[in-house]
Each structure stands twice: as structure tokens, then as C-alpha cells.
């Protein structure tokens, strides 16, 4: 009785939806289907007829249904179908075979999504603006956006301007002043650039197949990168890719399919690579291309061993440092820290206003960087310019002064640290006969000894914040070059000498540490999303309980360390230590490919952004793509750029402005805990589908759904949901419903999390440690089992103290010359004094790009092309920029705006020269991560004019016992470009040096 009523109600719902819901009507169009809902004994049920855009129903069980949804009993059906739907009950019922679909998987998905569409009748996204546009919201890697749309077209995008209804902002008092941030969000250049990215001329608008690729005949693999493409239908594309997936498993077995994505994708918790992509890839079984801790390199492989923080990739606690720095610091030393260019990470220019407050206080500010960087330009202060890769020597000399002059915190060192004496013996030269004095460092760094002494004394005399790296206590900068792990180690050792965690003494650059209410739950992008993956995301921590979903697990445990992907494909062998953040010792395990009994990789599923421009010695990837070992390459991409044109089949994805998602600004979840402490307001957005997908492009979710249905996995992959239904589930799983209704949320588009009460703000990072208290900052790390003393007492290190001499390294490999138990300096293996590199005398530093973000924002004929310091138009082409010192330019007869060839044995890139005083002579500067790779002849054997600077960078890992990029520095030569387009690649420099063949082609 009850079931029949519910089914009758469903029929009414369909009729209502057909009347009121255009999306539902659209679904009905062109779909003829008879759906039977029934009990397993066939005694009760109702037939739903979808025909010619109409919907009708008949009670009872009928023989002519195309598709049936079969419930074990009427009681079960009544319970599961009674609104509101209980998701936990639903998936438990699925797992326990209480109901099952009978019929085609695609019909199952269609019917379930149609039910969800009907339920969503009345949802209205966006709100009307005064000029006839509709205002939607979204979030990008460069900040949140209001997106104004009219007639299906994006008119404009702006930051989010808060209204009176939004929660008040925080205030901070320091030095008699009150500081409070602006009532709006901010945007980085690539965040402001999205309109031109959406409407870019190189958008992929239809599925494509390489013209000379025949899956049943000649594959012409050697033509990848050369041949053109022909459009194919989505049906053809899905069939082709699905049949290759099945063929791989049938012919080669588990492991044959590798999948690889960039480090970032469009913002949002549903469509993100750590969400829908993992869900799909786990469902088909893939060899994971395991990421190195890119951009954190030196911190993870270095500093981590001294102070713990494995779940922060070796970085430090962020809490309260912004306020503490303003109130208590007397000096700030920016050391390879350029937040004005890198925007911290994801956070627009949120930190800039706070650094402006800092500037207004008139503290002494020092910048240590071979480049007079944008933060130095903004804040002013003393510029100290060490040669690239030599900063560890400068740091040791500072420690040497403090030791000799007894100007460090001896009490703190005695009580809170361990192993100081061993390090002191090295720094003073008692163990190797070389005192690491300011004079000693001068020969390495080029910095006058007197400046180092003055800096060391001022630092010791003043409460000093050390801003190391882009986020102040981790990320980017010198951590990305060959001596990156040395540098981070010396950075934290210096702070431990001065009393890390005491008022005004900490690591930070005003980029993190905004006093939010961190207890308000909304998941970040790495908190599992819809991945179902309890092993490789943070899903198990909270979201799995809050948003029950079908679990997924990758049946293949074979992994390829990402930096060795070309070696794995070309040579069939690769090994490297993996990033395993659960504990310090996680990084000592080695992954070896192929894994015993697994198939080598024969198919590559590339997803997300172009990555050729972001990975070291990029020509190796060009060679990889043309290897006969790769029988099939599919690339699911938004734009036609970088390595997209090495695929056999291209699946056109839409941007996140053309699909639905949900997310919080700068909240990376488990990947970067408390990254949202960079932004001045926690902003959570319903990321509207602002416009329809351009051309025939589809959302990543719908592409995966289409493939999943070809593999019988549609119901499993979707759980019957559209992307918007997942967004609603995530909304319900968060703390949002206590503050805003779903309908209001999707209309208004965003919610500002109320700021934390001043008396409840998190204490300052490491203050608990400095004062010997139990840990009282709000972070659930390290793992409970990783404390040595009682839970919450001390650091993650074995001794629970700051370890100048690292127990982990002593235990693991005490004689490793590249990473000894104490922080030492050894010269970079890529440098001007390496004889084999003599013909490449210039040190090229390649920081994260200022105007674009990885490959997002660059290329694509975007607005950023017009920024004078991003690219420059010469002869009809937008060239990438290389900056060099006036003297270096003069010596090479190079003038401002000349086209030059930047080259070494690995590659050659045509850039436009900008002559400047902002660099140390002998140092040249160009950003990494161009989106474009444009060989002027055969790929791999010609010069590039796309600006792919990573063609020049070494593939060698920073230290042998790691899996770590060192692409922040390359030795190069530059000359005026004479028009030559050929380039003959010689053996990689790493091998030519004869120092270490690590990373070199075998």
C-alpha cells in the first residue's frame, strides 16, 4: 500500500517536473523508455513510460519494460524511495543487494538522473543584476568570481563584493592601529583572465582522432605530434576509448593503463582530479603516475626531518602568525619568498593588503634572493643577493656568527632541541676544519661577509620573522633548486636557534595565519570529494562519514614516480622514492616499476591541463609520447596546447564555468591543511554552470559518465547523480545548512563563514612548543601513533624535540653525502663550476610564473598575452620573456626586446630578452610553466618558440634518495637568435657531468 502511494507520487513528480522544469523536458526529448519499478517477487510495482517527450505511468508489473529497478521487498522499496532520500541507506542497500537495476546501464543512469532532475525542480541558480545580466558565482585557482551572464554569454567577471548580510570581517590590533581587510575578494591576474580562457580560440570543441590513427590497423605512433586530427562524434570517441580500455586489460592485464594529470585543475570539489577523476580511474583500474611533492620539494625531503610536519609536506604550522608578526616582530627576513608574484597559492592578492599593513609599521625588512623580486619592489628594504643555490652557505654563516657571539637562545636550544652540538661542530669547523664563516660563504654566495655579519647581528638583536618560501614557512622558491633540501634545513635550524614559537619569532610572510573559524566544516579539494577513495585522499577523515558514498579502490597498486614517467615508458623501468605523507619515514620507501606480475604500461590516459611546460627536461616527454611502447594515448583536455597534440584521441572537456561544482576558496583540504588561512574571508561558493558547455565539449564528470556507461560502470560511477546533485550532497554534508538554505545558496552563489571570535582564535604556531605546553593549535596531525611521548606532546620527530641532528636520517642512511643527518652545504651539481657545463655559464632561475598559474592562463590567446612582463608580441608571435642583467646582455650584444636563443644540451627555447638591473650578473630569470610548446620543426629536434623553459631544466632528482624536482635552476647560454630552427639534443647534462646518472636516459 505504502509503496504504491510512493510510486504514484513519483508519477506526479514527473508530471510536475515536465511542466515546470526545462532541464527535465530536455532530458525527455529523444528518449523512449519503459521503466518498471517492482518488487523482486514481481507482485508490486509501477511502469513509467517515457515516450515522445511525455511521461505517463501504469500501476502493476508489466512484461514489456526496457529497464527495471528491482527491490527485494515492498518494505525495502518503500523505505528507500520515501523522500527525503537517505543516502547512507541507499548505498548500504546497493552494497547489500537490496535493490538492483535490470537492463542497460545507460538506461539505469538515465532514469536515476532523471529522478534527480525532477526532484531539483524549482532550483534557481544565480540572481538578476541591474543591467539585465544574471550574476553567478564560481571559484578559480586565482580567486572567486562573480560571473555576469546575458543571453548565454559571459559579459564580465569581477571579484565577489560582500553585502551587509555577509559576516563581518576580522580585525587585528597592533601598535595602536586597527587593521581589517576589504569587504571583497581579490583576484590574481589569471583569476581575472577567465573570460578569455573560456572563449579561447584553442578550445577543444569536438572529440578528435588523429587522422592516421587506426585502432584496428596502423597506429602510426611515430606521427604523434606531427599529424592532424579529424572530428569524431562522442559515440565514436566513447566507443573507441572504452574498447581500448578493455583491450588493454584483455591483452596485457592489470597495470597496462596509466593515468596522469597536472597538479591543478579547475576549482571545485566535484569535478576535481582528486574527486571525479579518482572515482573513475579506480573504477577501471590504472597504474598511478605518483606525484612528487612538487613546489614543496626541499621542505618534504629536507626540513621535515628536523621539525616534522609530514602531513604539511614538510611545512610549518600557520596559525596566528599573521597577527603575531604584526604585533611582536621587529624584523622580517624574506628569503626566497616572493608572495606578490606567486599569490601564496590560490589566494588572489589576499596577503598583499596585510603586507601593506606590515610595511606601514616601519619594521626592518630584508630580502634575500638573486632576483630583486616583486615583494622587494613592493615592500622595499635591504636586498641581499646570493648566487642561486648557495643560500645554505649564507645560512650557515649566520649560524656561525650566532655561535661565535653567543647570540642565540641557549635556553631554548637546551630545552627544546637535540643534536645541536653535532651541528655546531660542523658550523664552527671543529669536525672538518672549515669554519663556516661569513668570509667562507662569500666565495660561494658572492654576498659580502660584512653584510652577513650585520644581518646576523640585527637578526639576533631583534624579534625576527623568517619568511622562507612563497607561503612563508614552506612552498616554492629555493626549495625547487638542486640544493633545495639543504636550504629548507638551514632555514628551520636558524629559527630553532632563535626560539621558534616565541612571540615575534616564527616563520611566516603574512601570507598565512588569518584567524578563521577553522571548526566550521567545509571540505577542501583533497578531502576526497566524490572519489570514494579512502586510501589516497583524506576522505576517511571526515567527509566519508558526512557524505556516505560508494567506496572505490584502485585494483592496481603499480605506480610510476611521476618524474620517471618517460623512463618507465621508454626504458620499461623506473624507480623512485614516493611521497607518503603519513609519517616522516613514509618517504624512505621506493616504488619500482614495473611491479611484480603487473603489466607494463601500454596506454596513457592524460587528463586535466597541459603539463609539458611544468615538468623538467621536457623533451623526455616528447620522446615518451612517440615511443612504440605507448600503443594508445587519450587526452581529456579543455584546450589544444602543450602535450594535447601528442594524443591519438582528444576528449574536449569544458571549463568549470560551464558546469556545476561547489568549493571553498583556497581550501585544499588534506593536500595543504589550512591553506584557506591565506584568504581574509572563508568564502564557499556554489559554482554555477554559468553558461552551456561550448561546442560539443562536456564536463569531465559527464565524460567519465559516458565512458563508464560503455563499461557497465555508469550506475556505480554516478550513484545516479548529476554533478549538481553531488554538489547538493556536499552542501548537506558541510556545516552550511546551519547558516543558509540550499535555495538561497545557489541563488546568491556564495557564503562567507563568520569570523572566529577574538577570544577563541587559534594560538600562535609553535608557541605551545616554545613554552613546553601540550599542543593547542587546531590541527589533527601528526597521526596519534606518531607521537613519542603522550598524545599532543612535542613535535613529530623521534625525540619530539627539534632535531638539529635528525634521528630519521641517522637511522635511514647516516652516510648519505647528499643528505647527512645534520644540515650541511654542498655545491649544486648543476652550476658554473661543473666542467662539463662550462659552455653554459649563465644560471637560469625559473620560479613559478607570476601572471599565469602552471599552464592555466598562459597561451590560449588570452588577455595575459598583453601584459608586458608576461609575453611580448614580435613579428606576430607572443614570445616568452627571459630577463638578463645589463652586463650579460652587453657581453652578448643583446639589446632589450631582442629575440634570443636560450639553450643548453637539453633544449633550445626562443625568448625575448628583457635587460634589467634586477638580477645579479650571471643570473638570468624566466618563469617556468608555459602552456605552449611549439617546436619549429620536428618535435624533440628543433627549437621551441612556445616558451617551454622546462626543456632546459635538469631531470635529475635533487638528492638521489628522493623523488624530487630540481628544475628551479638550469645552466644555459644565450645568444641573439639567428633564425636557426634545428636543435640536436645531446646526452642529458646529468649524465654528461658523470656525477650521477640519476634521472638520465639509460
Partner 1 sequence: MKKWNLIKWNLIIDVDKCTNCNVCAVAVQDEHVGNQFPGYAEEMPKHGHRWIEIMRRERGTGTAMDVAYLPTLCQHCDNAPCIKKAPDAIQKRADGIVLIDPVKAKGRKDLVEACPYGAIWWNAEKQIPQHWIFDAHLLDRGWKEPRCVTVCATNAMTSVKVDDAHMARLVDEQGLQVRLADAKTKPRVYYKNLWRYETCFIAGTVSCLRDGQIECLAGAEVRLLSDGDVIETQKSDVFGDFKFDKLAGQSTHFKVIVDADGQTQMVDNINLDQSINIGEIHFA
**Closest approach of partner 1 to the CB of residue 836, in Å:** 31
In this chain, which stretch among 377-385, 785-793, 805-813, 974-982 interacts with partner 1, using CB under 8 A? 377-385
382 binds partner 1 (CB under 8 A): yes
The verdict on 448 binding partner 1 (CB under 8 A) reads yes
861 is an interface residue for partner 1 by CB under 8 A: yes
Instruction: Determine, following the binding rule CB under 8 A, whether residue 377 of this chain makes contact with partner 1.
Output: yes
Instruction: Rank residues 92 and 131 by Cβ distance to partner 1 and give the closer one.
Output: 131
Query: Between the CA of residue 496 and those of 283, 337, 440, 583, 804, what are the distances in Å?
Result: 47, 19, 23, 21, 9
The verdict on whether 264 is a catalytic residue reads: yes
Angle at 944 between CA 942 and CA 947, to 5 degrees: 165
- Residue written as grid cell 620499461: 572
Minimal distance, residue 640 CB to partner 1, in Å: 18
Cβ 916 vs Cβ 905: under 8 Å: no
Say which DSSP state 34 is in.
E
DSSP line for 460-494:
HHS-EEEEESTTSBSSSGGGGSTTHHHHHHHHHHH
- The catalytic position among 426, 525, 607, 825 is 525
Considering only residues 816-855, where is the footprint of partner 1 by CB under 8 A?
851
In whole angstroms, the minimum distance from the beta carbon of 886 to partner 1 comes to 8
Q: Is 130 in the site for partner 1 (CB under 8 A)?
A: yes
Using CB under 8 A, pick the residue from 300, 475, 863, 927 that binds partner 1: 863
996 binds partner 1 (CB under 8 A): no
Q: Kindly tell me which of 448 and 594 has the beta carbon lying closer to partner 1.
A: 448
Residues 6+ apart with CB under 8 A from 447: 384, 385, 386, 394, 441
Q: Which three cell numbers stand for residue 749?
A: 552563489
Of 136, 190, 264, 963, catalytic: 264
Cα gap 512→741, rounded to integer Å: 30
DSSP state of 910: E
Rounded CA separation 303/397 (Å): 18
User: Judged by CB under 8 A, does residue 348 bind partner 1?
Assistant: yes
In 10 A of CB 640, how many CB atoms?
21
Contact between 738 and partner 1 by CB under 8 A: the answer reads no
Question: x/- site string to partner 1, residues 194 to 233, per CB under 8 A?
Answer: -xx--x----------------------------------
Residue span binding partner 1 (CB under 8 A) among the ranges 67-75, 449-457, 581-589, 950-958: 449-457
Catalytic residue among 105, 107, 212, 294: 294
Beta bridge partners of 878: 873
* Nearer of residues 189 and 504 to partner 1, judged by Cβ: 189
Residue among 147 and 971 whose Cβ is closer to partner 1 = 147
Nearest alpha-carbon partner for 183 in 201, 202, 164 = 164
Q: Which of residues 140-159 bind partner 1 (CB under 8 A)?
A: 153, 155-159
Tell me whether residue 605 is one of the annotated catalytic residues.
Answer: no
The phi and psi torsions of 760 (rounded to 5 degrees) equal: -110, 5
How many Cα neighbours within 13 Å face the side chain of 984?
A: 1
Per rule CB under 8 A, is residue 131 in the interface with partner 1?
Answer: yes
Among 249, 291, 457, 810, binds partner 1 (CB under 8 A): 457
Ramachandran area for residue 186 (φ above 0: left; ψ -120 to 50: alpha; else beta): beta
CA gap 709, 429 in Å, rounded: 67
Q: Is residue 877 at the binding interface for partner 1, with CB under 8 A as the rule?
A: no
Residue (373 or 718) nearer to partner 1, CB: 373
Tell how far CA 303 is from the center of its chain.
21
CB under 8 Å to 830, separation ≥6 — which residues? Answer: 389, 482, 837, 954, 956, 966, 969, 970, 971, 989
**CA-CA distance, 636 to 644, in Å (whole number)?**
8
For residue 593, indicate whether it is catalytic.
no
Are the beta carbons of 794 and 800 closer than 8 angstroms?
Answer: yes
- Locate cell 535493490: which residue? 99
By beta-carbon proximity to partner 1, the closer residue of 87 and 158 is 158
Is 750 or 840 the residue whose CB approaches partner 1 more closely?
A: 750
450 binds partner 1 (CB under 8 A): yes
Note whether 422 binds partner 1 by CB under 8 A.
no
Q: Does residue 864 touch partner 1 according to CB under 8 A?
A: yes
Interface with partner 1 (CB under 8 A), residue total: 59
Nearer to partner 1, 9 or 380 (CB): 380
What's the DSSP call for residue 639? B
Q: Report in angstroms how near the CB of residue 365 gets to partner 1 at its nearest.
A: 12
Nearer to partner 1 among residue 454 and residue 936 (C-beta): 454
The 8 Å CB, 24+ separation contacts for 85-89 are 87/547, 87/548, 87/549, 87/729, 88/548
Q: Binding of partner 1 at residue 340 (CB under 8 A)?
A: yes
CA 125 to chain centroid? 28
What's the distance, Cα to Cα, between the start and end of the chain in Å?
A: 72
Sole binder of partner 1 in the list 111, 273, 349, 769 (CB under 8 A): 349
Q: Which stretch binds partner 1 (CB under 8 A): 239-247, 378-386, 708-716, 960-968?
A: 378-386
- Give the residue with the Cβ less far from partner 1, 68 or 186: 186
Binding residue for partner 1 (CB under 8 A) from 123, 234, 252, 383?
A: 383
* Residues 761-820 contacting partner 1, CB under 8 A: none
CB of 920 to partner 1, least distance (A): 9
Long-range contacts made by residues 862-868, C-beta under 8 angstroms, separation at least 24?
862/193, 862/196, 862/197, 862/200, 863/192, 863/193, 863/195, 863/196, 864/189, 864/190, 864/193, 864/196, 867/189
The distance of closest approach from Cβ of residue 374 to partner 1 in the complex, given in angstroms and rounded to an integer, is: 6
Tell me if 455 contacts partner 1 by CB under 8 A: yes
Shortest Å, Cβ 209 to partner 1: 31
CA 111/CA 31 separation, integer angstroms: 10
Does residue 445 belong to the site contacting partner 1 (CB under 8 A)? no
Separation between Cα atoms, residue 191 and residue 139, nearest integer Å: 9
Residue nearer to partner 1 on the CB measure, 89 or 404: 404
- Phi, then psi, of 716 in degrees rounded to 5: -65, -45
Q: Is 657 in the site for partner 1 (CB under 8 A)?
A: no
Query: For residue 284, what is the enclosing H or E element?
Result: helix 278-284
Indicate whether 973 belongs to the interface with partner 1 (CB under 8 A): no
CB of 298 or CB of 348, closer to partner 1: 348
Tell me, residue by residue from 170 to 199, as one string, x for binding to partner 1 by CB under 8 A and - for no binding.
--------------x-xxxx--xx-xx--x
Dihedral pair phi/psi, residue 15, rounded to 5°: -65, -40
947 binds partner 1 (CB under 8 A): no
374 binds partner 1 (CB under 8 A): yes
CA distance 923 to 937: 29
CB of 778 to partner 1, least distance (A): 28
Q: Which of 4, 916, 981, 996 binds partner 1 (CB under 8 A)?
A: 916
The DSSP secondary structure of 124-193, one letter per residue, reads --SEE-TTS-EEEEEEETTEEEEEEEETTEEEEEEPPBP-TTSPPPP-EEETTEEE---SB----TTTTT
**Per CB under 8 A, which of residues 353..372 are in contact with partner 1?**
353, 356, 364, 372
State the nearest-atom distance from the C-beta of 828 to partner 1, in Å: 22
E strand map for 222-380: 229-231, 257-261, 287-290, 331-335, 364-368
> Residue from 597, 917, 978, 984 that binds partner 1 (CB under 8 A)?
917
Q: Footprint of partner 1 on this chain (CB under 8 A)? A: 130-131, 153, 155-159, 161, 184, 186-189, 192-193, 195-196, 199, 340, 348-350, 352-353, 356, 364, 372, 374, 377-378, 380, 382-385, 448-451, 453-455, 457-458, 851, 861, 863-870, 873, 916-918
Residues designated as active site: 264, 294, 525
Amino acid at each position: 500500500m505504502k509503496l504504491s502511494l510512493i510510486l504514484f507520487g513519483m508519477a506526479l513528480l514527473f508530471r510536475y517536473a515536465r511542466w515546470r522544469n526545462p532541464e527535465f523536458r530536455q532530458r525527455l526529448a529523444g528518449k523512449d523508455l519503459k521503466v518498471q519499478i517492482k518488487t523482486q517477487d514481481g507482485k508490486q510495482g509501477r511502469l513509467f513510460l517515457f515516450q515522445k517527450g511525455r511521461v505517463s505511468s501504469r500501476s502493476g508489473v508489466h512484461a514489456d519494460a526496457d529497464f527495471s529497478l528491482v527491490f527485494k521487498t515492498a518494505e525495502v522499496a518503500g523505505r528507500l524511495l520515501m523522500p527525503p532520500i537517505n543516502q547512507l541507506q541507499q548505498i548500504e542497500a546497493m552494497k547489500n543487494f537490496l535493490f538492483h537495476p535490470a537492463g542497460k546501464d545507460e538506461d539505469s543512469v538515465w532514469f536515476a538522473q532523471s529522478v534527480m532532475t525532477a526532484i531539483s525542480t524549482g532550483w534557481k541558480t544565480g540572481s538578476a543584476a541591474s543591467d539585465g545580466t544574471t550574476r553567478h558565482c564560481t571559484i578559480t585557482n586565482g580567486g572567486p568570481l562573480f560571473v555576469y551572464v546575458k543571453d548565454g554569454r559571459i559579459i564580465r567577471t569581477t571579484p565577489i563584493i560582500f553585502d551587509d548580510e555577509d559576516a563581518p570581517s576580522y580585525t587585528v590590533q597592533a601598535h595602536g592601529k586597527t587593521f581589517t581587510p576589504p569587504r571583497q575578494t581579490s583576484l590574481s591576474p589569471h583569476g581575472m583572465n577567465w573570460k578569455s580562457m573560456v572563449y579561447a580560440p584553442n578550445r577543444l570543441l569536438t572529440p578528435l582522432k588523429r587522422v592516421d590513427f587506426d585502432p584496428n590497423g596502423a597506429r602510426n605512433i611515430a606521427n604523434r605530434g606531427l599529424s592532424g586530427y579529424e572530428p569524431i562524434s562522442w559515440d565514436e570517441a566513447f566507443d573507441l576509448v572504452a574498447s581500448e580500455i578493455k583491450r588493454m586489460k584483455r591483452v596485457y592485464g592489470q597495470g597496462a593503463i596509466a593515468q596522469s594529470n597536472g597538479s591543478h585543475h579547475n576549482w571545485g570539489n566535484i569535478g576535481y582530479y582528486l574527486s571525479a577523476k579518482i572515482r573513475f580511474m579506480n573504477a577501471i583500474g590504472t597504474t598511478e603516475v605518483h606525484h612528487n611533492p612538487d613546489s614543496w620539494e626541499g621542505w618534504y625531503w629536507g626540513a621535515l626531518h628536523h621539525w616534522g610536519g609530514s602531513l604539511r609536506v614538510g611545512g610549518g604550522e600557520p596559525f596566528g602568525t599573521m597577527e603575531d608578526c604584526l604585533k611582536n616582530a621587529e624584523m622580517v627576513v624574506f628569503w626566497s619568498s616572493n608572495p606578490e608574484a606567486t599569490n601564496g597559492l590560490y589566494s588572489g592578492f589576499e596577503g598583499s593588503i596585510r603586507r601593506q599593513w606590515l610595511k606601514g609599521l616601519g619594521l626592518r625588512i630584508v630580502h634575500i634572493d638573486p632576483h630583486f623580486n616583486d615583494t622587494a619592489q613592493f615592500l622595499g628594504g635591504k636586498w641581499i643577493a646570493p648566487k642561486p643555490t648557495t643560500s645554505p652557505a649564507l645560512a650557515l654563516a649566520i649560524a656561525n656568527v650566532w655561535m661565535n657571539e653567543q647570540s642565540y637562545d641557549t635556553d631554548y636550544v637546551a630545552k627544546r632541541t637535540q643534536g645541536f652540538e653535532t651541528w655546531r661542530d660542523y658550523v664552527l669547523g671543529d669536525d672538518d676544519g672549515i669554519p663556516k664563516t661569513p668570509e667562507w660563504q662569500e666565495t660561494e654566495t658572492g654576498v659580502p661577509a660584512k653584510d652577513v655579519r650585520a644581518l646576523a647581528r640585527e637578526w639576533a638583536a631583534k624579534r625576527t620573522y623568517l619568511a622562507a618560501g612563497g607561503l612563508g614557512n614552506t612552498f616554492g622558491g629555493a626549495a625547487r633548486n638542486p640544493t633545495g633540501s639543504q636550504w629548507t634545513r638551514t632555514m628551520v635550524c636558524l629559527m630553532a636557534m632563535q626560539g621558534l614559537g616565541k612571540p615575534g619569532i616564527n616563520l611566516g610572510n603574512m601570507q598565512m595565519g588569518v584567524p578563521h573559524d577553522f571548526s566550521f566544516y567545509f571540505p577542501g579539494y583533497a578531502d576526497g570529494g566524490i572519489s570514494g577513495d579512502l586510501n589516497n585522499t583524506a576522505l576517511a577523515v571526515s567527509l566519508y562519514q558526512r557524505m556516505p558514498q560508494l567506496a572505490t579502490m584502485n585494483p592496481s597498486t603499480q605506480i610510476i614516480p611521476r618524474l620517471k614517467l618517460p623512463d618507465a615508458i621508454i626504458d620499461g623501468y623506473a624507480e623512485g622514492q614516493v611521497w607518503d605523507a603519513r609519517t616522516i619515514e613514509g618517504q624512505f620507501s621506493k616504488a619500482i616499476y614495473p611491479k611484480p606480475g603487473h603489466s607494463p604500461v601500454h596506454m596513457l590516459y592524460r587528463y586535466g591541463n597541459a603539463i609539458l611546460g611544468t615538468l623538467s627536461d621536457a623533451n623526455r616527454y616528447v620522446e615518451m609520447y612517440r615511443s612504440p611502447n605507448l600503443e594508445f594515448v587519450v587526452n581529456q583536455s579543455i584546450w589544444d596546447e602543450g602535450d594535447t597534440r601528442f594524443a591519438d584521441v582528444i576528449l574536449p572537456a569544458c571549463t568549470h564555468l560551464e558546469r556545476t561544482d561547489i568549493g571553498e576558496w583556497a581550501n585544499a583540504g588534506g593536500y595543504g591543511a589550512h591553506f584557506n588561512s591565506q584568504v581574509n574571508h572563508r568564502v564557499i561558493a556554489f559554482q554555477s554552470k554559468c553558461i552551456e558547455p561550448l561546442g560539443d565539449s562536456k564536463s569531465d564528470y559527464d565524460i567519465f559518465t559516458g565512458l563508464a556507461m560503455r563499461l557497465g560502470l555508469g550506475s556505480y560511477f554516478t550513484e545516479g547523480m548529476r554533478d549538481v546533485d553531488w554538489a547538493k550532497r556536499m552542501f548537506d554534508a558541510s556545516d552550511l545548512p546551519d547558516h543558509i538554505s540550499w535555495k538561497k545558496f545557489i541563488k546568491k552563489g556564495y557564503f562567507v563563514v563568520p569570523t572566529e571570535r577574538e577570544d577563541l582564535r587559534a594560538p600562535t604556531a609553535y608557541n605551545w612548543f616554545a613554552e613546553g605546553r601540550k599542543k593547542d593549535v587546531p590541527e589533527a596531525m601528526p597521526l596519534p601513533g606518531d607521537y613519542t611521548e603522550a598524545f599532543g606532546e612535542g613535535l613529530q620527530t623521534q625525540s619530539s624535540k627539534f632535531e638539529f641532528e635528525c634521528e630519521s636520517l641517522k637511522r635511514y642512511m647516516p652516510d648519505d653525502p647528499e643528505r647527512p643527518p645534520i644540515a650541511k652545504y654542498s655545491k649544486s651539481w648543476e652550476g658554473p663550476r661543473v666542467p662539463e657545463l662550462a659552455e653554459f655559464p649563465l644560471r637560469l632561475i625559473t620560479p613559478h610564473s607570476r601572471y599565469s598559474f602552471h599552464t592555466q592562463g598562459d597561451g590560449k590567446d588570452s588577455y595575459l598575452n598583453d601584459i608586458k612582463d608576461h609575453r611580448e608580441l614580435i613579428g606576430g608571435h607572443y614570445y616568452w620573456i627571459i630577463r638578463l642583467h645589463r652586463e650579460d646582455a652587453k657581453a652578448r650584444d643583446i639589446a632589450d626586446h631582442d629575440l634570443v636563443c636560450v639553450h643548453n644540451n637539453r633544449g633550445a627555447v626562443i625568448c625575448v630578452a628583457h635587460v634589467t638591473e634586477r638580477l645579479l650578473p650571471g643570473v638570468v630569470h624566466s618563469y617556468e610553466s608555459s602552456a605552449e610548446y611549439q617546436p619549429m620543426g620536428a618535435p624533440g629536434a628543433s627549437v621551441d618558440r612556445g616558451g617551454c623553459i622546462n626543456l632546459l631544466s635538469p631531470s635529475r632528482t635533487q638528492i638521489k634518495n628522493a623523488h624530487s624536482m630540481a628544475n628551479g635552476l638550469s645552466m644555459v647560454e644565450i645568444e641573439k637568435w639567428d633564425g636557426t630552427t634545428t636543435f640536436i639534443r645531446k646526452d642529458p647534462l646529468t649524465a654528461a657531468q658523470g656525477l650521477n646518472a640519476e634521472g638520465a636516459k639509460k
